[in-house]
Every structure is written in structure tokens, then in C-alpha cells.
Amino acid sequence: MKVKEIMNPITDHLSPEDTLQSAVVKMRTTVREDRPGVKGLVVLNERGELVGVLTIKDVLRAAIPVYLDTRLSKLSWDGMLEEMARKVACRRVKEFMSKRLVTVPEDAPLMACADLLIQEKMQRLPVLNKDNRVVGIVYIKDIFNVVSQIFLDQEKCKL
């Protein structure tokens, strides 16, 4: 089986110039598997080229500035996260998106894709066509669904 057989086609994307606020709205309203809300979106430039990925972890990291002590519990106050989130809401996606791009070709075997997801400790991979254009996203859950269906289709294991 190939990645293109299980990938989710790109239905929405972000621009590097979008604000985090508009990015969050898009992440919460983009539909996947008949449910609104995704945990990450690809970021495409004006030419439609992949330039990054923004995930919910990136949004949370934006609200926790790197200059703060790593032991936040020692110096945080009630309402701190909310206050910090308000301060970064109007900042640009390009400031917080992951620019380290790991992708998979649409004709890659699922084993290669699964290995890449595990080795890179990722939850999703943008899928590129032969012209290096983003055509979809494959999620680790999509690979798990293929594997788990094989388990379910087999006879029950005898111990």
C-alpha cells in the first residue's frame, strides 16, 4: 500500500503572514474525519510551496516564552498562560511555525512512512507529489488504522 492511498487531501492551509489568532481559528474549524479541529496545518507561501507546519504545540510554545525559567511552576501565577496567550495572538505564523520540513512522497510505501514518523517522533507528515507540491497529510493514526485493521481481520489469537 502507498501513502497516497491513506493520506488526507489538503483542504486548508496557513500563510506565513497569518496571525496566530487566525491560525487557531482555522485549526479549530478545519474538518477532518467529519469532525472540526486539527492539531496542525501546513504553511504555504504565495506560490503554494511548503514553507512550514504549525501545530498546537507550536501555538502553546508561543505562549510560553523561551526566556522564562524551565521550572515554570516556581514562578508562574494564576492567569499567566492566559496573559501570555493574549500577548502573542497577533504575532505571525512565520515566527512560530516549524521550518524543519520532513515530508514523504505520495508513492512511498507505508512502511517507509511509518518508520519516518517513528524515527522523527512526528504525528503527521506532509505528502508531496512528483512536482514537490503538497497534496496531503498522513497522520500516525492513519498508519495505526491500517495496522489495527489487519489485526482485527485475523483470526483471534490463541494463547
At 119-139, the pLDDT tens digits run: 999 999 999 999 999 999 999
State percent of the chain over pLDDT 70: 92
Question: pLDDT band at 78, cuts 50/70/90?
Answer: confident
Model pLDDT for residues 40-74, shown as the tens digit of each residue:
999 999 999 999 999 999 999 898 866 555 565 55
**Is 121 among the domain residues?**
yes
Q: What are the helix (H) ranges across the chain?
A: 20-29, 56-62, 80-88, 110-119, 140-153
In this prediction, residue 82 carries a pLDDT of 87
In this prediction, residue 52 carries a pLDDT of 97
Instruction: Enter the pTM of the model.
Output: 0.86
**Is 158 among the domain residues?**
no
Question: pLDDT band at 109, cuts 50/70/90?
Answer: very high
DSSP state string for 30-63: -EETTEE--SEEEEE-TTS-EEEEEEHHHHHHHT
Residue 117: give the domain boundaries: 3-153
**Is 107 among the domain residues?**
yes
Count the domains in the chain: 1
**Is 159 among the domain residues?**
no
**Is 125 among the domain residues?**
yes
CATH number of the domain that residue 110 is part of: 3.10.580.10
Q: Is the dihedral of CA 24, 27, 28, 29 positive or negative?
A: positive
**Residue given cell 497534496 in the structure block:** 135
**Is 142 among the domain residues?**
yes
77 has a pLDDT exceeding 80? no
Q: How do 104-105 and 124-128 pair as beta strands?
A: parallel
Average pLDDT value for residue range 18-32: 94
- Give the angle 111-101-120 at the CA atoms, nearest 5°: 45
